[in-house]
Structure 1
Amino acid sequence: MPSFVWATGSAYGAQSTVSPSLVKLARDGVPWFVTVLLVTGFLKLFGALVAIGLTRPRGPRISWLPVFCGGGAATLLTWHGGLFVVHGVLVETGAISVEPDLAGLTGWYRYLWGPWFIVGGLAFAGATALYVRRNDGRRKLRIHGAVGALGALFLSVISTVTGIG
């Protein structure tokens, strides 16, 4: 996973597709950024486990966990990808401007990263919906999925507004 590679200080695959300031943070081994990269890598691994969990039937005791996490993942990925695409469109149309060293990257975010995040979010949404349907669409499961999705949306909006995400 790129997050783990970049946490080692390597910029492999990042130089032409990721913001130069982020590449510099990774290369310089800035402790807080390395921590962010490692946490991101582990969250990606956790997401893979959630995805696998959504394909396996579970007993009623823990069936809420994959639905909660799947709803959250669907929202986070779709929101994140949507922000990339919308930002890219706004830059392309001239509605907003970016620093010259970032201008070349907006296409990567608009045409590659954003759509891939959206596809991943929709895949999680579909897998979560199928999981709920396989469990007879229990109302309790749908509520857990909605709480996960709304919680993720709340955290995403807060991080976007504060400039953290």
Structure 2
Amino acid sequence: MIAIMSGRRETASSPARWPGFASAVWGFAFAVPSFYWAMGGLAGAESTIAPSLVDLARERNPGFLAVLWVTGVLKVVGGMLGLALVRRRAWGRGMNRLLQLSAWGAVVLLVWHGALFIGQGLLVQTHVIGIDPELRPISRWYTYLWGPWFVAGGVTFMFAARAHLSEVADRRPAMTAGLVGGLGALALSATAVITGIG
């Protein structure tokens, strides 16, 4: 289907739209394991995530189950954000700013989280940091699967946010909102690391 946008023809698969769709697919796909584990499924969990988390899931720990459900919902919201970034002309100024704030916040949170997994994992793999030998295989999953997956999500949201911004009429306020979102996410991430909860 062809749409007319800002005086030029654009298809659904054009470079200006694919990042939003990629972000949506990333969010919806990533929600599946969270919901699966929250509902009691453990296939694949024992070899790919930390044993302490597997134990919490197996014990049906209420707090951990709540975290799984909330993260699953947040990932679905991320998928919806990706779709919202595709529909640029339909939104008003306030919504465009909210989308930019959310998208750049997601970019920073995802890239930061993924980079931590990759960085710590590489330090473990090169024996700079020592861990229990039994945890090394799981560390590899964090280094080569979960870390890159988070980074890939952040990159898709970055391209989606940029494509969205290129079609926004009130670019300066939207850019400011994006900057606030990114800096807020950076401050949150840094605080989590400093306090030892991230």
Identical counterparts, % of pairs: 45
Structure 1 unaligned spans of 5+: none
Candidates 106, 114, 132, aligned match of 1:99: 132
* Aligned counterpart, 1:109: 142
Per the normalisation by structure 2, the TM-score is 0.79
2:56 equivalent to 1:44: no
Partners in 1 of 2:116 and 2:64 — Cα distance? 22
Partners in 1 of 2:104 and 2:42 — Cα distance? 32
Partners in 1 of 2:170 and 2:131 — Cα distance? 46
SS at match of 2:95: coil
Whichever residue aligns with residue 175 of structure 2, its letter is: R
**Larger displacement relative to structure 2 (134-143 or 85-94):** 134-143
Asked if the contact 1:8–1:26 (Cα under 8 Å) also holds between the matched residues in 2, the reply is no
2:128 equivalent to 1:64: no
* Aligned counterpart, 2:42: 11
2:151 equivalent to 1:118: yes
**Larger displacement relative to structure 2 (6-15 or 48-57):** 6-15
2:76 equivalent to 1:76: no
* Aligned counterpart, 2:196: 163
Q: Number of aligned pairs?
A: 165
Candidates 166, 175, 189, aligned match of 1:142: 175
* Aligned counterpart, 2:53: 22
Q: Given the superposition, is the C-alpha separation of residues 20 and 161 from structure 1 closer, same or farther in structure 2, using an over 3 Å criterion?
A: same
Larger radius of gyration: 2
Asked if the contact 2:111–2:154 (Cα under 8 Å) also holds between the matched residues in 1, the reply is yes
Partners in 2 of 1:31 and 1:157 — Cα distance? 28
**Larger displacement relative to structure 2 (24-33 or 155-164):** 155-164
**Larger displacement relative to structure 2 (58-67 or 45-54):** 58-67
Partners in 1 of 2:142 and 2:113 — Cα distance? 11
Asked if the contact 1:73–1:124 (Cα under 8 Å) also holds between the matched residues in 2, the reply is yes
Partners in 2 of 1:153 and 1:61 — Cα distance? 23
Asked if the contact 2:93–2:170 (Cα under 8 Å) also holds between the matched residues in 1, the reply is no
Q: CA deviation at 1:79?
A: 0.6
Partners in 1 of 2:163 and 2:50 — Cα distance? 37
Q: CA deviation at 1:137?
A: 6.6
Asked if the contact 1:80–1:117 (Cα under 8 Å) also holds between the matched residues in 2, the reply is yes
Per the normalisation by structure 1, the TM-score is 0.94
Whichever residue aligns with residue 107 of structure 2, its letter is: A
Question: If each structure's strand is expressed as a fraction of its own residues, which one has the higher value?
Answer: 2
